[in-house]
Structure 1
């Protein structure tokens, strides 16, 4: 997660999607100017011997960029495990490091296409599995949706909502039909709001179940 003086750590490349969001938020909150080093490429000039210039050798107009680049590079070195850093193909600039992380996570075009195909299939057949709690269902579904969006697969809100609604067990049918009985209000829902409604209904079901259980002599 990171601390006030240490960025969140990327220990495994498969953790990149969740790490990237935390890392971006951490750096931007720390100093947004530093974050701009990954948005536009700046390559520190080299001496005649091929080594980078020191700050004292940088022309006045480039010093701000030089410092941003160094600060961002320091954060990358703190955050990315050495073994993972060595797997990245980049030219040394912070911009190229960030792009290399993104490309490493997405894979080559064929791998990316296969991932997209697999995610679309998972979405099409998504349903609640036996023994799965409501919280586990929502967590698994949100993870699937986030993975789809990360790879550029996006759908309108009503498709995300309908898929989650259809994943619920049969005893939820009346509640789902009630939500859909007002087409205008239902069409205005986004996924987050719909999940809130499901959570409220789940809580009501549990409360009623507990009341019935305690009422049995």
Structure 2
């Protein structure tokens, strides 16, 4: 969850959408300057040997940006489980880490297309299961709609209502 002293922790990639919202809110509230490292890519300057400059070698006008990048990197390392962090493909900047997390959550183009097709089919055949209670069905329906929106599948408002109404059984005794 995170506290006022610690950012929320990403323990499983499946939690990424919720974690990302919490993490962004936390960062914007606690240290907006560091959050800017995620929004604007910073390329750490290297010296003639190809190694990173130490703080004393960085030009004065670049020190604030460098420090912001380092603060954000520290917060990422605190927030993201090391097994997840190691699997990310990034160039070392906070911006690229954030992008890598989003891409890992979305998957590649083929995987996204398959997920979208599966969710669309699930929506098309959605109905109340035998023995399922109304709250259970509504919870399952809300989860389906949220997943559709997360994947960028948008329907007209009336389509959502029609699907939910069509999912109800004809025999009203089964609703209780």
**For this structure pair, what is the TM-score category when the shorter chain's length is used for normalisation?**
0.7 to 0.9
TM-score, structure 2 normalization: 0.87
| Deviation for aligned residue 1:157 | 2.0
Distance 1:101 1:144 in 2: 23
Is 2:92 the partner of 1:92? yes
Of residues 22-31 and 81-90 in structure 1, the stretch that sits farther from structure 2 once superposed is: 22-31
Distance 2:77 2:168 in 1: 45
- Give ranges in structure 2 of 5+ residues lacking alignment: none
| Deviation for aligned residue 1:89 | 0.4
| Deviation for aligned residue 1:151 | 1.8
| Deviation for aligned residue 1:171 | 6.1
Query: Which residue of the partner structure matches residue 110 of structure 2?
Result: 110
Query: Which residue of the partner structure matches residue 213 of structure 1?
Result: none
Query: Which residue of the partner structure matches residue 164 of structure 1?
Result: 164
- Give ranges in structure 1 of 5+ residues lacking alignment: 173-204, 207-217
| Deviation for aligned residue 1:158 | 2.1
Query: Which residue of the partner structure matches residue 25 of structure 1?
Result: 25
Query: Which residue of the partner structure matches residue 49 of structure 2?
Result: 49
TM-score, structure 1 normalization: 0.72
Number of equivalences: 174
Distance 2:161 2:169 in 1: 15
Query: Which residue of the partner structure matches residue 66 of structure 2?
Result: 66
Instruction: For CA contacts below 8 A with separation 6 or more, give which structure has more relative contact order.
Output: 2
